[in-house]
Structure 1
Amino acid sequence: MRTRDLVTWPLLAAGGALAWGVCEARAFTLRRFTVPVLPPGSRPLRVLHLSDAHMLPSQGRKQAWLRGLADLKPDLVVNTGDNLAHLDALPAILDAYEPLLDVPGVFVFGSNDYFSPRPKNPARYFLGGSGVGAAGAWERQPDLPFEAMREAFTRRGWTDLSNRHDELTVGGLRLAFAGVDDPHLEYDRLDDVPADAAADLAIGVAHAPYLRVLDRWNALGYPLILAGHTHGGQLCVPFYGALVTNCDLDRARARGLHTHATPGIEPSWLHVSGGLGTSPYAPIRFACRPEATLLTLTE
């Protein structure tokens, strides 16, 4: 092989992979799982899990796809944060969620509900460990309209779970929730309140699936935990999976339905959404399509 070919073919391969990654970031996918967590005799409950939209005002295709999810007729929407990626994106995200705001819902925020994205060295995700202690890195005030978004969500009936407990009756079932503000920013305030044994189901909701949060809720008896943040790895290797999770969760559980257990405790079901978006400074996905998830809860 000529020297010029040794340079040309790797460049072509890299260019092709980049082009594929840009296209894949727009290949929105609905994933479905069945989770056996309801009491005997319960009818199935359809839960739409949304996360990491990272919306830009210009992303009309993503907005339209999100609006179309209302056709699934979910009983409950769970939004695990990172809705925004631009100072002016609030009208776009509210338009995207418009029909879903008529459905009972709960939400927590992630870092990209508070802080607009900035360019970062991607190598830090591979070399910098789990990102624990990220709160200390924010030396600026929040600049995204998170309070206006919170007010818009709650005015339409969605329940804010940021470091809060609350409950909803959905489909005749009493659902108890525990939520935390973003663990990646160390905004989470965990307590020792056991899951409500009188509820038909207790659910933990967080943006980032840090082990301290998962361990606490599993030990306190929460049968179902929902989170996002990881982007499913965003850049994955076929037949190998995610390279990183951007937290201390293991790579094997970067997205999808798994279990989580602490010693001597019955496992909790854990669903980690691979999310719908990316940072505008890294607008690619590889072997990891953007997603929303319909969880069918059964007895």
Structure 2
Amino acid sequence: MSGQDLMAAAPAGPVPRGAAQRLGAAVARGARRTAIVAGLGASAGLAAAAYGWWEKDQFGLREETVPVLPPGARPVRVLHLSDIHFVPGQDRKARWLAGLADLEPDLVVNTGDNLSHTDAVRPLLSALGPLLRIPGVFVPGSNDYYAPILRNPAAYFLGPSSRTPLPRRVELDWRALFAGFGASGWVNLTNRAQSLQFNGVRFDFSGVDDPHLGRERYADWPRGASGHEAKPHVKVAVAHAPYQRVLDHFTDAGAHLILAGHTHGGQLCIPGYGALVSNCDLPTWRARGLTEWQNGLRTTPLNVSGGIGTSRFAPVRIACRPEAVLLTLIGR
């Protein structure tokens, strides 16, 4: 081995004391910064969770005016409810729901996902008692049929929540729910059509079972009188999940208004940007509010409710407060 090789193999000399101290101090500062960043991240996460827990109970009312009635018709007030996701013990939500009857709407439209617990039917019907004395129509969502299950929230960014095999789902008492609605006079529009009259205007409703479960079957519009003696018709389509195929169908069928829910308005939103997901193929900017849905040459007003509740496994809302919607329908 040459002298150069011996020099290369020799161990390095001792690190000067000052350099070692500086190195140790730098390592300590890096560790402190890492701990501070981690602490701030944890604090921010806890603060966001606490805010989301608070916001889920900040119930509000969104009001919209929609010119879909025949010219000169008197206004009709429609209260749109969706995604209540009721759990026993939600007393604040129950009181707020009951108080909505003070708005004195002409009609209540319920677009599904009323339940989030196996024991929720009776307390929900009690909370809705004052509203059940008002004419209404309803369609179901998946969480009227089956209890929610625990999911990885990140999975929603990959697309609509999967249809979990039914043997793994806990069936809810949807029959008692439907019977309670029906006993009050609310009309079941599950793949059905029905006409009702308000302020001298005939409303033709057509509803579908939950498209999120692939259960929609189209019943067309109610048949009735035609000619000069017939009252003016307004066609209202009702669905739980606003998948584009459903919106296209009802728009092509000549609906004057489409009502839906399901999206929770995104549930977690970014201020100034909006919803991150819609849990269906609806564009996220339409996940909440009144917009115009266009298919071909036809255009139909579409109201998507941001919903009232959350899954009991994700009980938070951020920048997306729960809402009921009061639609005032006026003459075109």
TM-score bin, normalised by smaller chain: over 0.9
Per the alignment, residue 162 of structure 1 pairs with 190
Q: Distance in 2 between matches of 1:137 and 1:86?
A: 19
Deviations along 1:93-120, one digit per CA (max 9) or x if unpaired, are: 1011101111110000000000011111
Structure 2 counterparts to residues 216-295 of structure 1, below 5 A: 216-265=249-298, 267-295=299-327
Q: Distance in 1 between matches of 2:219 and 2:280?
A: 21
Contact 1:195 1:221 survives alignment (8 Å)? no
Deviates more, 1:209-218 or 1:190-199: 190-199
> After the TM superposition, which parts of structure 1 deviate over 2 Å for at least 4 consecutive aligned residues?
134-142, 190-200
Q: Distance in 1 between matches of 2:94 and 2:220?
A: 39
Per the alignment, residue 27 of structure 1 pairs with 58
Per the alignment, residue 238 of structure 2 pairs with 205
Contact 2:204 2:222 survives alignment (8 Å)? no
Per the alignment, residue 40 of structure 1 pairs with 71
Deviations along 1:116-170, one digit per CA (max 9) or x if unpaired, are: 111111111111x234xx5563334661111111111111100000000111112
Per the alignment, residue 297 of structure 1 pairs with 329
Deviates more, 1:190-199 or 1:142-151: 190-199
Letter in 2 for 1:221: G
Letter in 1 for 2:254: G
The one of 164, 177, 180 equivalent to 1:149 is 177
**Structure with greater Cα Rg:** 2
Q: Distance in 2 between matches of 1:173 and 1:154?
A: 23
Contact 1:36 1:297 survives alignment (8 Å)? yes
Letter in 1 for 2:65: T
Q: Distance in 2 between matches of 1:242 and 1:255?
A: 8
Q: Does 1:186 align with 2:218?
A: no
TM-score (norm 1): 0.94
Q: Percent identity?
A: 54
Deviations along 1:55-108, one digit per CA (max 9) or x if unpaired, are: 001101000000000000000000000001111101111011101111110000
Per the alignment, residue 107 of structure 1 pairs with 138
Contact 2:65 2:327 survives alignment (8 Å)? yes
Contact 1:75 1:171 survives alignment (8 Å)? no
Count residues in correspondence: 295
Q: Distance in 1 between matches of 2:286 and 2:222?
A: 25
Change over 3 Å in CA distance of 1:240–1:194 after alignment to 2: farther
Per the alignment, residue 69 of structure 1 pairs with 100
SS in 2 for 1:261: strand
Q: Distance in 2 between matches of 1:13 and 1:46?
A: 42
TM-score (norm 2): 0.85
Change over 3 Å in CA distance of 1:16–1:298 after alignment to 2: same
Contact 2:132 2:186 survives alignment (8 Å)? yes
Letter in 2 for 1:263: G
Change over 3 Å in CA distance of 1:148–1:215 after alignment to 2: same
Deviations along 1:249-283, one digit per CA (max 9) or x if unpaired, are: 00010011001011122x10000000000000000
The one of 151, 160, 164 equivalent to 1:130 is 160
Contact 2:147 2:169 survives alignment (8 Å)? no
The one of 98, 106, 117 equivalent to 2:148 is 117
What's the C-alpha RMSD, in Å, of the aligned pairs? 1.7
Letter in 2 for 1:225: I
Change over 3 Å in CA distance of 1:118–1:136 after alignment to 2: closer
Structure 1: which 5+ runs fail to align? none
